[in-house]
Amino acid sequence: MIFIGPRNLLVSRQKSRFLASLGITASRVRCEELKGDPISLAVRRPVRYSPPRRQILAGDRQNVKYCEPMTAIQQNVPLKPYTTFKIGGPARFFATASTPEEFRSALDFARRERLPVFVLGGGSNILVSDRGFDGLVIHPAQKGMEHEACGEDAVLVRIQAGEIWDEAVRKVVEREWWGIENLSHIPGQVGAALVQNIGAYGQQIGDVLDSAEVMEIETGAVRTLFPKDCRLAYRASIFDTTAPSRFIILSLHLRLNSLGKPNLAYRDVRDYFAERGDAEPTIADVRRAIIEIRDRKFPFPREERGGNAGSFFKNLPVRKDEFETLRVALARNFPTSVMQRLEEIRQRSTSEHIKLPAAFLIDICGLKGYRVGGAEVNPQQPLVLLNRGGATASDVLALARHIRRTVHARTGMILELEPQLVGIEEKGALDFHSEKS
């Protein structure tokens, strides 16, 4: 069923003259064609004109429906097509919203029905339960980009949260604005990029964030949050830690640079240009390099076979004393070649904490290509779990538990998940301590 909002009418073509009997002129009507007959007429009456509901129903009881909310609400919508993992059951209710009014209307519906709300963007960093989500899923669909010069070389770019992230990066690179080119080829929407504080190859969204426009889920009020308000950390923010159900992200303001230079801090990127003898790559060259490098490691999710949520485990920032404890543990269980790789990781670190790649731990434990049902550890990049066709959320969780249990048993390290679990209780789903090895 299609729910038409406050003061909206669902009227058949033959009975559309009934609008005139209510004193509604064409200038006060916005028409939206639906398939066949009838059509939806969103009526914007003058404030002083508010006929009682019984008057509308009495006028044409068979052809007019008056109901809430304004945003179209669908029932039992499969979420699988909306995720890059291509996994997940249905949403009990589902709404697409493009304006603050449509978001508020959907939230009003959720409040009246006492439903939990989940905002589903590009679905690139989530795993949805096989049972789906027993509440209202809101899918942001607002589009658009604007920019303004801020000083001699700074550019402030406002991007709507419903834009596809990689499309936004492409447009920015075409204008030669530096700052997010190394974040190319990451699936998902712009709003989700801030939720996770995405990062890759020496850049992260927090480095260029000026502010974010958000809506409070409880009140519908629109606010501006600055970087300190977002509490950005490694692959985390207020939106997925301390306040995961408080805000809907509407748009981001990113501060970019028109006179930037290539960020070649990561060895993969340096090696790419060294092999080609390119000492001064352009911003377009950098984007092209990142896409090629990511395609080798992270299969871009386009179909069910090969579907994934990107990096499934977070890298581990460890203190130097913790690293020494790990080194002693690995020396007991692994050959010299593994110890040499561990030393290379230590030497690459330039900060107080050493970033220990989760892929390294999974690899040395011999888990590349390990499979449970339709879910598999990517043989090329073990940080990624793949849907090999027909995988369920239960398959993925069983595989994740096996990986965490094995890595912990052999290295003493506990891997933390990167994707958000939807409709799944994380503690119970990922507890491997009670399972047999």
Average pLDDT rounded to a whole number, residues 263-274? 94
d(CA 138, CA 121): 8
pLDDT of residue 78: 97
Asked if the model's pLDDT at residue 61 lies above 70, the reply is no
Q: Choosing from 129, 184, 211, 311, which is the catalytic residue? A: 311
Asked if the model's pLDDT at residue 317 lies above 80, the reply is yes
Q: Choosing from 104, 235, 404, 405, which is the catalytic residue? A: 235
Q: Does domain 145-297 have CATH number 3.40.605.10?
A: no
Tokens of 229: 């308000």
pTM of the model: 0.79
Domain pair 145-297 / 316-430, same fold: no
Q: Choosing from 181, 213, 376, 418, which is the catalytic residue? A: 418
Higher pLDDT, 22 or 278: 278
pLDDT digit string, tens, across residues 3-14: 334 433 444 444
Is 14 buried (19+), middle (13-18) or exposed (0-12) by CB count in 10 A? exposed
- Beta carbons within 8 Å of 302's beta carbon, 6+ residues apart: none
Q: Provide φ and ψ at 397, rounded to 5°.
A: -65, -40
pLDDT of residue 350: 74
Contact of 214 with 248, CB cutoff 8 Å:
yes
d(CA 205, CA 402): 32
Is 235 an annotated catalytic residue?
A: yes
Contact of 418 with 404, CB cutoff 8 Å:
no
Tokens of 56: 């509308």
Confidence bin at 152 (pLDDT 50/70/90): confident
pLDDT of residue 297: 81
Tokens of 364: 């040395």
Q: Where are the domains of the chain?
A: 8-59, 145-297, 316-430
- Beta carbons within 8 Å of 198's beta carbon, 6+ residues apart: 165, 183, 186, 188, 204, 205, 235
User: How close are the terminal C-alpha atoms of the chain, in Å?
Assistant: 49
Tokens of 427: 């503690």
DSSP 14-46: TTTTHHHHTT--GGGEEEE--SSS-EEEEE---
Tokens of 325: 């404890």
pLDDT of residue 349: 81
Is 124 an annotated catalytic residue?
A: no
CATH fold of 316-430 reads 3.90.78
Confidence bin at 335 (pLDDT 50/70/90): very high
Is 183 buried (19+), middle (13-18) or exposed (0-12) by CB count in 10 A? buried
Average pLDDT rounded to a whole number, residues 39-52? 33
Asked if the model's pLDDT at residue 282 lies above 80, the reply is yes
pLDDT digit string, tens, across residues 221-265: 999 999 999 999 988 999 988 998 899 999 999 999 999 999 998
Asked if the model's pLDDT at residue 21 lies above 80, the reply is no
pLDDT of residue 427: 64
Q: What are the counts of helices (DSSP H) followed by strands (DSSP E) for the chain?
A: 13, 21
Confidence bin at 144 (pLDDT 50/70/90): very high
* Amino acid in position 270: R
- DSSP secondary-structure letter at 317? E
Weakest-pLDDT range from 23-32, 142-151, 239-248: 23-32
Asked if the model's pLDDT at residue 41 lies above 70, the reply is no
